[in-house]
Amino acid sequence: MFWSRLSFKRKLMLMMLLTIASGVVLIGLFFVTYERVHMREQLEREVQMVAKVAASQLTTALLFDDPVTQQEIANSLRFDSTIQIVCIFGADGALRVQSYPGEQRHYSCPAAAGVAEAGFENSFYHFKRTLNTDEQTLGTLYIRANLDYVDQHMRRYIYMMLTALAVISVVSLLVALWLQQVITRSITHLAETASRIARQKDYSLRAEKLGDDEIGQTVDAFNQMLHVIEQRDNELKRNKTQLEIIVGERTAELRAANRELEAFSYSVSHDLRSPLRAIDGFSQALLEEYSDQLDDVGRGYLDRVRAASQRMGVLIDNLLRLSRVTRQELQPEQTDISAMAQEIVRELRDGDPQRNVDITIQDNMVAQCDAKLIRIALTNLIENAWKYSSKQAMAMIRIGCRDGIFFVQDNGAGFDMRYADKLFGAFQRLHSKEEFEGTGVGLATVARVIHRHGGEIWAESELGAGATFFFTLA
């Protein structure tokens, strides 16, 4: 709005001018109205007074039916241009005498005394008086006066009022300019100081106090507030510096610990391979070369040893994969997620041709990501869906994307959502190894891949009704 865009100075000046002008106009209108009513009353009194003076003379002229005297009286009643016409009617109501200025014949009397008006109407004043004696009615005196003099006087009054308004407005403007300089100087300085503080973020600045009035008290409060803010800002800066130092130290320690942990994990996993291969190899040799010397219990023990060592080998492979996912540098590229999912499904079908699984893969799923890492994550999710739906008569897997959110859905065993927070932790399992094989590292690997891409991963499920895993890629 126009008013909201004006500065405080201009608002103050306009308010003063409007207030003064409104006061002058209202006072002028009051006096114009009063003067108009007063002059109309004065005109009415003057006409009535003149008519009253002439009534006695006119009564005698009517009584003796003297038209000459009646005309003289009528002419004498037109004492100035205000009296427009004078009419004298007889006792029968018929017009006897009329008087009008000069040769202006367009002025005319009413046709009869009975139709003559009385009082103010439009721009005229109509006066009518019945003349009579004690015994009889002699006639009627009718006078019509115009209001030109009243209107002229009102116009002069309005001109005077407008002149006074113009003079007062000029004087008021000068006074307003002076007052707004006096009143708004402190406010303007306060606003400029606040603007500088907002731009420079320098809370050491202070507003100048120019008086002890309410504005001066506001300036004191503003400066006190700045003092408090400056102290807190300095304290925040000191705390920020200390925090940055602490965070830097903790970050360096964490990075060193992660490097040591990764090195330890890689070393342990790598060093465990040789003894595990030896255990598995010698167990197999015992079964093949000394099988006839062992009973069924002994051969069963060796089978268990081999199965445990092979399971430990799978676990070591998963740990090494998890370690590589953490250390590997991201190499984002445009990746066809649909084609990648189709390839993973094809490998699963080739590895287990007896399974009949209804798998639907949405077309044209594309993302900017590290293709190698996303393949690891997608492989884990699809393999889980394949595994946990294996006990369903009509297994179903859906792979798609809606509004930038990818999902892998199955109708398998599902899980209890109360334990969903354990899904993506390393070595966390919601099903026993007797139900479904696994190491509990796969989903932890998936979560690390997704988080390294700046995305999120979550799951929704119902026990016995399948599960859906969702993930985003920033």
Q: For residues 176 and 13, is the Cβ–Cβ distance under 8 A?
A: yes
In contact, 408 and 337? CB cutoff 8 Å: no
| Burial grade of 169 (CB within 10 A; 0-12, 13-18, 19 or more) | middle
Does the pLDDT value for residue 400 go beyond 90? yes
What mean pLDDT do residues 63-74 have? 84
pLDDT for position 121? 82
Give the integer Cα–Cα distance in Å for 176 and 21. Answer: 13
Q: What's the confidence (pLDDT) of residue 124? A: 86
Tokens encoding 147 = 């209001």
- The answer to whether residues 209 and 226 touch, using CB atoms and an 8 Å cutoff, is no
Q: Does the pLDDT of residue 65 top 90, yes or no?
A: no
Other beta carbons within 10 angstroms of residue 210's beta carbon come to 15
In this model, does residue 1 exceed pLDDT 70?
Answer: no
At residue 183, the pLDDT reads 65
Distances (CA, A) of 50 to 42, 77, 80, 81: 12, 7, 12, 14
Q: Residue 143: pLDDT band by 50, 70, 90 thresholds?
A: confident
Cα 323 from Cα 433, distance rounded (Å): 24
What backbone phi and psi angles, to 5 degrees, belong to 473?
Answer: -130, 115
CATH class of 2-167: alpha beta
Provide the pLDDT for residue 342: 92
Look at 65 and 358; give whichever has higher pLDDT.
358
pLDDT score of 367: 92
Q: Average pLDDT of 341-363?
A: 88
Single-letter code of the amino acid located at 310? Q
The SS3 assignment for 361 reads strand
- Half-sphere exposure (CA, 13 Å, Cβ side) for 57? 15
**Rounded distance, CA 228 to CA 312, Å?**
64
Q: Which two tokens stand for residue 126?
A: 């109509």
Residue 306 pLDDT: 77
Rounded mean pLDDT, 219-231: 78
pLDDT-based confidence at residue 270 (cuts at 50, 70, 90) = low
Coil vs helix vs strand at 406:
strand
Give the per-residue pLDDT at 298: 79
Please tell me what DSSP assigns to residue 115.
G
Mean pLDDT of the chain: 79
pLDDT in tens, 369-393: 888 888 888 988 898 888 888 888 8
pLDDT score for 353? 84
Residue 269 has pLDDT above 70, yes or no: no
What one-character-per-residue DSSP string does 413-432 give? ----GGGGGGTTSTT--SS-
Task: Compute the distance between CA of residue 147 and CA of residue 142 in angstroms, rounded to an integer.
Answer: 17
Q: Which pLDDT does position 408 carry in this prediction?
A: 92
Q: Is residue 107 predicted with pLDDT exceeding 80? A: no
Q: Which residues contact 377 (CB under 8 A, 6 or more apart)?
A: 445, 446, 449, 450, 471
Between 98-102, 109-113, 248-252, 469-473, the lowest mean confidence (pLDDT) is in: 98-102
Q: Is the pLDDT of residue 437 over 80?
A: no
| pLDDT of the residue at 433 | 57
Interval 419-443 mean pLDDT:
61
Question: Which overall architecture, per CATH, does domain 331-471 show?
Answer: 2-Layer Sandwich (3.30)
Mean pLDDT for the stretch of residues 149-158: 80
Please name the amino acid found at residue 344: I
CA dist 455 and 407 (Å) reads: 13
% of the chain beyond a pLDDT of 90: 7
DSSP string spanning 41-90?
HHHHHHHHHHHHHHHHHHHHHHHTT-HHHHHHHHHHH--STTEEEEEEEE
